[in-house]
Amino acid sequence: MVNLMSYQRVLLVILIIGISGILVYSLVRMEQTETQQTAGSRPVDLPYNWIRNIAKGHIAEPSGITYHPLRKSLFIADDSGIVYEINLNGKPIQTNGVNELDIEGITVDPTTGLLYVAVEDDEAIIELDPETLTIQREFRIHREFKGKLLLKKGGMGIEAVAFVPDISHPEGGTFWVGNQSFSLKDKDEPSVVCEVVVPLRTATARKAEGTIINAYKMDFIDISGLTYDTRDDILILISDTTNLFVEMNRQGEILSRYLLPGDEQEGVALDGLGYMFVAQESGEIIKLGDRRLR
């Protein structure tokens, strides 16, 4: 009888230790998960090598920038409605005004070489010939998605644009636009990134409409620039007000956040050779060595 009671006590102690171990393990795992989630939302310093400011003072207020892989040059949109082409050292190549439109972002279709600028007031994408910087076509973006108004008429408007090529897509790819907002309140205009289909290949009319097919609400304000990182198949978003450099996949998931150097950052471009160019509203075009892990 004594041996049976001793045996039961041993089993009870083992059971208590086992349950305690499971509880401790569960608490540790919960803490680790919470720590990882917090770390994923906390920005760290962007790893880069400072090269120099390549602007020569001839661009007043850069509002967007893109690298042209066929011409091996940079195209810059200016707030005044002017588009500039410069080489990678900042030497001017050509300049042209775009009907005094409020252009806030610029991108390129690498297959055709055609340029596209985002017009803030009209929520439109304008197609430009890179040889002459003249307007070819205009695409107005439908403002609603699934019955909800995303691009408010008279609001802050689209501030950034990037083209993501896709050879399997009937239009050759899709556009991504960033709607600028300085509030995260539900009642205010949303800080949102939208994927937009435009009839680039299936229509020839000079004017057509673009349709939002996906939209992802951001948890930070003032989306000021967008570009597509072809190497990692991700989108890069920047925010002027919060000095953020954000990596996002095409499912709208934020992958990482970095603190962006500089000030008044309005556009970002990657040349695929390890260099990054940041356009600042102050007139500077900063060239950086991109040291993000691959």
Q: How far is it, in rounded angstroms, from Cα 95 to Cα 145? A: 36
Rounded to 5 degrees, what are φ and ψ at 22? -65, -40
9 lies in which domain range? 1-42
Torsion sign over Cα 110, 116, 120, 123: negative
278 and 207, same domain (yes or no): yes
- For 229-242, what is the mean pLDDT? 94
Looking at the predicted structure, is the pLDDT value of residue 11 above 80?
no
DSSP annotation of 23? H
Give the largest Cα separation in the chain, rounded.
101
Those residues whose C-beta lies under 8 Å from the C-beta of residue 126, and which sit 6 or more positions away, are: 98, 101, 103, 116, 117, 119, 135, 137, 138, 139
**Poorest-pLDDT segment among 62-71, 182-191, 243-252:** 182-191
1 and 135, same domain (yes or no): no
**For residue 16, what pLDDT is reported?**
72
pLDDT single digits (tens) 190-203: 889 999 999 999 99
168 and 280, same domain (yes or no): yes
75, two tokens = 């195209």
225 and 107, same domain (yes or no): yes
109 and 194, same domain (yes or no): yes
The CATH number linked to 61 is: 2.120.10.30
pLDDT single digits (tens) 172-192: 999 999 988 887 887 778 889
Taking residue 26's Cβ as centre, other Cβ atoms within 10 Å add up to 10
170 and 26, same domain (yes or no): no
Give a three-class secondary structure readout of 171-209: CCEEEEEEECCCCCCCCCCCCEEEEEECCCCCCCCCEEE
Domain final residue, candidates 27, 42, 57: 42
Taking residue 33's Cβ as centre, other Cβ atoms within 10 Å add up to 10
Looking at the predicted structure, is the pLDDT value of residue 14 above 60?
yes
97 and 203, same domain (yes or no): yes
172 and 284, same domain (yes or no): yes
Looking at the predicted structure, is the pLDDT value of residue 1 above 70?
no
The total of structural domains in the chain comes to 2
Rounded to 5 degrees, what are φ and ψ at 8? -65, -40
When pLDDT is cut at 50, 70 and 90, the band that residue 6 belongs to is low
17 and 53, same domain (yes or no): no
Looking at the predicted structure, is the pLDDT value of residue 36 above 90?
no
30 and 171, same domain (yes or no): no
Give percent of the chain with pLDDT exceeding 70.
87
167 and 276, same domain (yes or no): yes
233 and 200, same domain (yes or no): yes
